[in-house]
Amino acid sequence: MKMTRLAWIKVTCATALSITAFSSAIAQPAELRVGLIPSEDAQAMIRASQQIMDQLAEKSGMKVRPFVANDYNGVIEALRSGKLDIAYLGPFSYVLASEVANAEAFAVAVTKKTGTSSYQSLLITRKDSGLDSVAKLKGKTFSFVDPSSASGHLFPKAGLLAEGYDPDLYFSRVIFSGSHDANIMAVANGKVDGAAVADRILASAIAKGVVKADDFQVVWRSQPIPESPMVWRKSLDAATKQKVAAALADIKDLPWGDQGVLNGFAPTNDQAYDVVRQTARSLKLDLGRMK
């Protein structure tokens, strides 16, 4: 039977629509894989973010699976290889991920406690050690967090260098503990003389009763650092990006780790992290080779 031109057009259009719908269904993942930076141990991170993950699942209509790597680079590598869809990264680890993993910042948490989207790096010592200034830390032991941590390495190192203190030469021993909590406890227990830590993570540890404020001396503070962003793979399909961004913007009145009670996620972009790139350049870091 010979098909008329009109019938052929109808069949062709119907087929095209079916293929488009099928391709769209394949492109949009049923499960959203979310990476979290290891500021605490893995299980503690998952517990702290569970309510947020539950709300993200409910509001996006997707199953959400959280993942915490052993270090920052583990999350970056998972993004690069397509094993994660979105991730919560530190400012510097984001800049690194944007270079090597095709990641893009799209949202940043705003909390009721501060109402801001920035924080600071602190250098701390034990108050009873008598080490009440950076000058007194000469020849002492010191701990950074992770080479890819903004507040735990990049900003404090740049700040020390700007003031004439080269950490590699100034301290008797420098280590990387892997997390802010580990740095706090290392100072509290006398394992190191000084350490870098994010102000909000120290405040959270004090609020939880893990340590006491009176046990520590803050000997240095950084300039404001843009808050840790939520990022996605640029290759993530547009429909999923829209769902995720809308869902995060609508999540409020829930605890968000050490940042306090969440007041939604505000939009951000890659340019907001240029100050981090500038700081990296001041340290002569080759971001492309750090992965």
Q: Provide mean pLDDT across the span 111-119.
A: 70
pLDDT at 25: 40
The helix/strand count (H/E) of the chain reads as 11, 14
Could you give the domains of the chain?
A: 29-113+226-290 (3.40.190.10), 121-223 (3.40.190.10)
Q: How far is CA 151 from CA 196, 197, 262, in A?
A: 7, 6, 21
Helix (H) or strand (E) holding 88: strand 86-88
Q: How far apart are CA 76 and CA 84, in angstroms?
A: 9
The pTM assigned to this predicted structure is 0.71
Q: How far apart are CA 170 and CA 59, in angstroms?
A: 51
Q: What is the DSSP secondary-structure string of 131-198?
A: --SSGGGTTSEEEES-TT-IIIIIHHHHHHHHTT--HHHHSSEEEE-SSHHHHHHHHHTTSSSEEEEE
Q: Provide mean pLDDT across the span 211-237.
A: 95
pLDDT at 53: 93
Tokens of 143: 């701990």
Phi/psi of residue 288, nearest 5 degrees: -65, -25
Q: How far is CA 96 from CA 67, 84, 255, 262, in A?
A: 19, 16, 27, 26
Cβ count within 10 A of residue 115: 8
pLDDT at 46: 75
Q: How far apart are CA 226 and CA 268, in angstroms?
A: 10
Yes or no: say if 290 and 281 are a contact pair by the CB < 8 Å rule.
Answer: no
User: What is the per-residue pLDDT across 66-109, written as a single tens digit (0 to 9) for each?
Assistant: 998 878 889 999 999 999 999 999 888 899 999 999 999 999 98
